[in-house]
Amino acid sequence: MSLLSREQILAAEDRASEVIEVPEWGGSVKIQMLSGGQREDYDRSMITAEGEINQNDFKTKLVSLSIVDENNKPMFSLKDVKALRAKSARALDRVFLAADKLSRVSMAALEESEKN
């Protein structure tokens, strides 16, 4: 097995995506695996200044970072969490479960990152 070059690593399409039906919203959305930077932003948003895990908006934050447009550009950011909180819990759960499957975000992973 040969080693990858810098260019090969940077050119690799390594973020899976999936289109899911969200009947509560009347159509489909595309979700994409978080990038390394998005994952760090997400993890950081879940840790309080005191170093404790903040479970507030656990699901909605992941939803906000995972939904992308047809060109894989983020449609939302962590700044949109408050607006997304007003959407159907069932719809948010549907998107969260699919996003979690792609990005493997869990409370256990957050607890592990808190220790490091």
Q: How many helices (H) and strands (E) does the chain have?
A: 6, 3
Segments making up each domain of the chain, as ranges: 15-115
Instruction: Please identify every stretch of the chain with a pLDDT value under 50, giving residue numbers as ranges.
Output: none
Q: Are the C-beta atoms of 63 and 43 separated by less than 8 Å? A: no
Q: Which tokens sit at 60? A: 């909605």
Structure confidence at residue 85 (pLDDT): 96
Protein fold of 15-115: rbstp2171 (3.30.2220)
Structure confidence at residue 105 (pLDDT): 82
58-66 vs 89-103: helix crossing angle, rounded to 10: 70
pTM of the entire predicted model: 0.83
Q: Which tokens sit at 98? A: 């699919």
Structure confidence at residue 115 (pLDDT): 59
Neighbours of 67 (CB within 10 A): 20
